[in-house]
């Protein structure tokens, strides 16, 4: 893959279903009741269950690696949460390459829903130049 400063990643829309929010919290062993019990979430000031940070972190990482390709390696993910992700909304992930140094691209990432920014941050991803990636995936020929 060839990345350049200023490249924009194709936006990705993530439908925020109750199943996604609850299942990913439980899969990440986050049993905090605000992620699976609507009554408990409302008692604590939320309007419903809301996504946990581990799910958000995973979605951000996947967003960047899906763009960078299967040979890419995440080096650093640094995010900050904003408004909650509630069921029934959609989070749209966007990103822009802000720097490239030594084969590592820095991508500024934003995930927004109808209330504003759910997540902002940067992801550093080691990208493999297109020629190297093609050479690595060529099949071995036998005579």
pLDDT digits (tens, 9 = 90+) for 5-48: 999 999 999 999 999 999 999 999 989 999 999 999 999 999 99
Let me know if domain 8-137 sits in CATH 3.10.129.10.
yes
Q: In this structure, what token pair is assigned to residue 128? A: 């493999």
Tens digits of residue pLDDT in 118-135: 999 999 999 876 544 444
pLDDT at 58 (0 to 100): 97
Query: Does residue 137 surpass a pLDDT of 80?
Result: no
Angle subtended at Cα 91 by Cα 54 and Cα 121, rounded to the nearest 5 degrees: 55
Query: Does residue 59 surpass a pLDDT of 50?
Result: yes
Of 100, 94, 92, the residue nearest 124 (C-alpha)? 100
pTM: 0.87
> Where does the pLDDT of residue 1 fall: very low under 50, low under 70, confident under 90, or very high at 90 and above?
confident
């Amino acid at each position: 893959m060839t990345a350049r400063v200023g490249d924009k990643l194709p936006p990705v829309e993530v439908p925020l279903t109750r199943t996604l929010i609850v299942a990913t919290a439980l899969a990440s062993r986050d049993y905090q009741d605000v992620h699976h019990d609507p009554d408990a979430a409302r008692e604590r000031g939320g309007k419903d269950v809301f996504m946990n940070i581990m799910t958000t972190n995973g979605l951000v990482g996947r967003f960047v690696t899906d763009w960078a390709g299967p040979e890419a390696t995440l080096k650093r993910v640094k995010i900050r949460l904003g408004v909650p992700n509630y069921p029934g909304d959609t989070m749209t992930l966007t990103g822009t390459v802000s720097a490239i140094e030594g084969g590592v691209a820095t991508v500024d990432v934003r995930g927004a829903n109808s209330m504003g920014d759910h997540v902002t941050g940067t992801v550093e991803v080691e990208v493999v130049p297109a020629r190297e990636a093609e050479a690595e995936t060529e099949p071995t020929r036998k005579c």
